Chain A
């Protein structure tokens, strides 16, 4: 719809952007917890994007002379049984864990939103089928279901993503369905019908954006769960394989050495895991405030 960009339109775009940035700043400063979460999330994202460039050692490089050294100035988080630098491995692992979580959440967000919108808007048979599908997924212990899916589909990273996406799907479907049902007869939806909007457009343009604020909270919470889920699957030996650095595997491998006193092997990846989950759980509220225009005053 955007045509030749002339001066007033450009100015308008800039003004809108400035308003949005001002709003983000307000959300961050009004709630210190959100600010803390945003800083942590920024650090985690930096580690994920630039990880291999900023770490002091090659995370895969073994060094027989430096096996199982405790944390020191040269090796901040110590070294593992093959002499690899734990700090470098923890930082580099952020990329893989985050990529799995993001991909899984993006998939369940998209598919769940579409299924939830259709189910809540049309009701009837569609709703019954989608509803029973959710019930079926929810009937399993979710982690066991994920294990089953990965075991059945094959032990690859893609399948971890699919498994994580499937077990999170019902949460999105149910939430979007509920948000859609309360709005499908709302005045503004009727008005949109009168303006000649077809059903798909009403769903996408009128109803879906109104379901975004609660969905953002769900996305953020889910990112945390998805990271835990991916790490959990790796911990029991599914998905990511050694020697690739990944928090779950690192905890699993390090666990063998805790009894002999080398606590740092499992401790630091575990800490990273905990911080990541903590961060995304806290971030949810802030994200909701950012996407809700009612907070923009």
Chain B
């Protein structure tokens, strides 16, 4: 283990994306993350026990169990240990309560009623571990008239205001290409737990954190929110445009699905773009100032797009970047995975996984000079670490673990 959180531990009940991403970020900074999973109801991001293997894994001899081979689960559960406990069985809850004193924090993203139903409310946890930090991530938080309304990224995106602002200028509201609100909630949970850790360092006091996915996401639209409360104006969808600068868009280049992102945020950048295009744009009164370019943006985009359509994406991106214009090729996921800069900075890394083999992953985006957090371990197999964790923390013998398995409280893979 390495990183600033080395020596801290979370016993976490996270699943899907928001919670799992939150606890992965903690694990990547060196915290020991012990994720408790339930065999009867597997993490939806492990997928169905009987799901087919993803296409590229069919020929991989070690890829045996679909629930250990899901790209969703494996992408957001790095640096964790996985133990299985049936929390609906008293014996499972009892084991959880024995583990609790070893936890600095607990994180969960169940529906709000679940924790209380399991006998694991904040007060019940605090009775066992007085300074515990408990963080809940729920769709609408743990109070209010919608406190028990279920939600996921795909429904929080609309109810937080995100979908209403995402889309083409002439099109309907849309959701992002994957459930972005989960990532926002996960980042906020991560920030919240570390804030609480500092408070505990200082005072010895734990606390309860209530993350509402709706609120966290709305916070990230804060400028549109304050615009409404100040001026009464409900912002329209902007497509790729900027409220202040023009040009600011994504334009087609030669070839299929080859696009360039291109923007000017100063007159110097605009002049550099004009020079690169060499089409006399600098002479057109409609583009003479940023205000005029904004006013005539449709025509400006038509002209810029007409030019980029004759250009090679990568050559143009390189030439414009060199000239100081804001420009970048629109990369697909494979290109991101192979990006030399991201690899050189260690943010994309190849990780070996016992079943799926060696694949590139997006890992830790935080770089620390004194406490580098560079250790990365693959997502755990379902139940991989139960015996190890029980022995390490509770001094449990192998026989005791086997008894839990025999009772159906723990084990590996689908329930018998």
Q: Do A and B bind each other?
A: no
B interface residues, Cβ below 8 angstroms from A: none
A interface residues, Cβ below 8 angstroms from B: none
